[in-house]
Amino acid sequence: MKYITGLLFIVFLHISLNTNAAILTNDLKLYKGNNAYIQYVGRVDFSNPLKPRMWSPGVYIKARFKGKKCELLINDEVLYGKNHNYLEIAVDNNTPYRIQTTGKVNVITVAEGLSDGEHTIVICKNTESNIGYIDFVGIRCQELLPSLPQPMRKIEYIGDSMTSGAGMDQSIMPCGKGEWYDQHNAYMSYGARTSRNLNAQWQLTSVSGIGLIHSCCNMDVEMPEVFDKVNLRTDSLAWDFKRYQPDVVTVCLGQNDGVQDSVLYCDAYTKFIKTVRQKYPTADIVCLSSPMADEKLSSVLQRYITAITESANANGDKKIFKYAFSRRYYQGCGGHPDMKEHEFIADELTAYLKQLKGW
């Protein structure tokens, strides 16, 4: 199989946006972003159905197609005139691979030389909200096929840079080189891995640097105020929680808060858990310790989440749980877990959720 990336700036000039029908381009047909056979999972803005827009890490698109070749049409915000998003591409059972957009308009050949039969593709946004949005304009292939049913299980992962998959992937750029987002890989993060282990859908509700009551890096928002948004980083566009009702929600916050006053922190955490419960009445909510926390912070956070879960249980919510990771994971860039450590974190969480849910 051969993979190619490239740009084409004139491809859209003769494409009518008034119909959902496939358009023939050479030997491939264009199926637009609003085609019913294309599946979207995650916080997506459908206000323009022909260009579904996504900011968050881990938002993914699934499709089935027939033929030897597949191309994607993707627009990139190119935030600040320079940021380009990374995507993870998984075709059939082949090893997933990472690509990067190179401009505002991108036509990307993601598969070529395939067998002349049925194939599946997953396109995952590896970078996060503050790298800018992408629009999924469409897919070109010989024939787009009806989608298969999604897994019934659903999990949501609330968190910060670790949950986003920041600082973990050095396959293209080593730590300390390039741009800070060059090591992002949401598709291989612990949440996405855990869901694939459990045959579940995933949604990463996460932003690097965000905290519960204190965010780092001059960030002007905390998780409780943006939890209900599509673009969490800029606190914009209301999210419709009916679109995704998870069976399990994990909350992994506190790394950016650091050691805080116990009363202030636990009160805020308890209030946030009540908000999550309001949005997801039947979900199991699991409060996680921070996998990258040092010994001091880890001890404090574990003490806090123990008190929070016990209080919630005592007040009648028996579906609030806690889990503390077995050790610290920090071998990636900036003290984050690296690629292998995300696998270990996912293995821990997979085992716990199997026991909790009987999956």
* Concatenated DSSP letters of 288-319: EPPTT--HHHHHHHHHHHHHHHHHHHHTT-TT
Mean pLDDT, the chain, whole residue set? 93
Q: How far apart are CA 77 and CA 133, in angstroms?
A: 5
Q: What residue spans of the chain are helical by DSSP H?
A: 161-164, 190-197, 223-226, 262-279, 295-314, 339-357
For residue 16, pLDDT beyond 70? no
Give the residue-averaged pLDDT of 324-348. Answer: 97
pLDDT score of 25: 54
Give pLDDT, residue 8. Answer: 35
CA distance 165 to 126: 8
Using the predicted structure, report yes or no on whether residue 4 has a pLDDT greater than 90.
no
Q: What is the pTM of this model?
A: 0.93
Quick: pLDDT tens for 102-148: 999 999 999 889 999 999 999 999 999 999 999 999 999 999 999 99
Q: Report yes or no: 125 and 59 within 8 Å, Cβ to Cβ.
A: yes
Q: What SS3 state is found at 180?
A: helix
pLDDT surpassing 80 at residue 31: yes
Helix (H) or strand (E) holding 252: strand 248-252
Confidence of residue 235 (pLDDT cuts 50, 70, 90): confident
Give me the mean pLDDT over the 293-307 stretch.
97
Query: In the numeric block, which tokens belong to residue 222?
Result: 């905390």
